[in-house]
Amino acid sequence: MSIKIKRNEAGNCITFEGSSNPVYWNSCLSGEVDNTDNTLINVVNDIITAQSGTTQYEFFRIPFTNFVDADGNAFNTAQDCSDYITQEANVLGSIGEQIATNTDNFDFYIDSKDNTVIMSTGDYFPVNTIQAFLHTDDTMQIISVIGVKTYYSNINLSNVSINSVLLTGTESEKVNELNVLFQNTGSSTGQAPSITSSLAVSLTEGETLNYELIADYGVGYEWDLSNVNGIASVEGNIRKLIGGSSLSAGTYNIPVKAINYNGEDSQTVVLTVDAPAFSSTKSVKFQNLDYLNANASLANSSLGRTGNGSGSSDAWTISMWVKPIGTENNQTLFFYGGDDLNNEGHIIIRYFGSSSLRAVRLEYGSDNNYLRLLAPSSSFPLNQWTHLILTYDGGTTGVASGSVSSYYSRFKMYANGVLLTTSNTNRNSGFNGDIKDELMRVGRQGLSTFYMRSGSRIDELAIWGSDESSNASDIYNNGNTHDLTSLTTLPNHFWRMGDGDTYPTIQDVVGSADFTMNNMTVADIVNDVP
């Protein structure tokens, strides 16, 4: 929206329509071209500058293209704009005394910012600059408070209104009522202010406050902003508060007073800042050598174990959204466990992208002793988001040959909320050892290769230190990403995979096991989500 530079017909003040700045009295402003950029405009308050000894700017470093003249015409250069502002802000009154007829009607009101008296004639005056004066013949004059200038005379008080309501009472009472308006003193009948606007204000984190206080008979206003950061009143309209985009979720009390000559009204504005509604807008993309790593010890209570499965205390659940792109086999989605793959236990979730498979496989154990569960072919198609859940009930996983089928039953795999029938294999009747907290990675197997490929994506990765198979449908949520911390059982670790993250850290929003991006750039946080 353009800012229109406009001087009133009386030539006593200038306004900048389309901005929050107040009306300015004549001969107090001048324009200048910014000395560091000849496309920017500054507007200096010459009077305050002279009084304070420090340059006071009413506008600072504003593109000249934001301004138009009184007729809505754009300026060709910043200098043209600057000269026009100086010219219009320093014009002596263009009209002399206006003599009203007996039938002329006059309506007066205060603008929304409480700083300008507006007349139905089209003239407007800053408050406390004009005065109503009762002449000896019972007609009224409007004169300047500063100096002796008469703007209007011979006004018939029977034809005078405030806010389109005719004045009543004696002629003297009518004049007094007008002067209450002109000087913005509140009420001629001695009424104290009364705040009438809502005192309850709500924002969502990141939103900007735009609140304006309303008070009957209010003249002055005082805010106590000591309890909030990043909120300020608007220059020229102290009733309005702006800012607040940096506030965290919570409740903030903001005391305020409305004041006039007759008293005050003290209230408290209660600002409630809510956490933003959940939305998934980012995921992490993996190329041929990309991976994430975190301190595995921070997830030991969820994924680690010290023996052959002691029950629910060793149980876990892993949930993620996967979008495979590369057709290669043995792409590591997730790894947790010892760095000696041959002899130390681990959890490996791999993707097999060949045309005959397009499936996920879980390996639990070491390379010498393991259980493997492979999803049906085509259950995780290329270039599509698929939701994966893997659960372990914490029971024994080896090493009696006659119990292998029961070992497999400890695990469940879900694709898009559907329990899969897996193809299962083992070596040496499974694994009965511990799972050490040495390595935790996404996109790479242990200390070896087997990276994810070709831009495959992971989103909304979460880990529970419990078997959540009974809650699989709630986790999947009909294919809609959602805030997993709102579930009855919260995950122990939750990575949004881009949302709210700052490169190179992928934040654990529940625990403290933050991932670090390796061989990656900020461009690997992408706008591609389920």
409 and 473 assigned to the same domain: yes
Low-confidence ranges of the chain (pLDDT < 50): 92-94
C-alpha to C-alpha distances, 32 to 54, 55, 149, 179, 353, nearest whole angstrom: 16, 12, 31, 37, 66
pLDDT at 75: 95
pLDDT at 147: 60
425 and 509 assigned to the same domain: yes
77 and 39 assigned to the same domain: yes
pLDDT at 122: 76
CA 30, 84, 8 angle in degrees (round to 5)? 85
In a domain, 188, yes or no: no
12 and 82 assigned to the same domain: yes
Q: What are phi and psi of 440, to 5 degrees?
A: -140, 120
pLDDT tens digits, one per residue of 32-48: 999 999 999 999 987 77
pLDDT at 509: 95
Half-sphere exposure in the Cβ direction for 383 (13 Å, CA)? 1
236 and 360 assigned to the same domain: no
pLDDT at 275: 82
366 and 476 assigned to the same domain: yes
Q: Could you give the CA distance from residue 35 to residue 41 in angstroms, rounded to a whole number?
A: 9
Q: Could you give the CA distance from residue 118 to residue 107 in angstroms, rounded to a whole number?
A: 8
pLDDT at 93: 47
In a domain, 235, yes or no: yes
Token pair for 523: 């461009």
Expressed as residue numbers, the domain containing 54 is 3-88
pLDDT at 94: 46
Residue where a domain stops, chosen among 239, 274, 309: 274
> Do residues 259 and 221 make contact, with C-beta atoms less than 8 angstroms apart?
yes
Q: Could you give the CA distance from residue 331 to residue 123 in angstroms, rounded to a whole number?
A: 76
pLDDT at 1: 63
Residue the block writes with tokens 């390379």: 367
E strands in 196-297:
200-204, 209-212, 215-216, 220-223, 231-234, 237-243, 250-260, 263-274, 283-286, 291-294
pLDDT tens digits, one per residue of 135-156: 889 999 998 876 667 889 999 9
pLDDT tens digits, one per residue of 76-117: 999 999 999 988 887 644 456 788 899 999 999 887 666 678
Residue where a domain stops, chosen among 156, 183, 210: 183
427 and 463 assigned to the same domain: yes
> Do residues 437 and 257 make contact, with C-beta atoms less than 8 angstroms apart?
no
Q: Could you give the CA distance from residue 446 to residue 424 in angstroms, rounded to a whole number?
A: 23
What CATH number does the domain containing 474 carry?
2.60.120.200
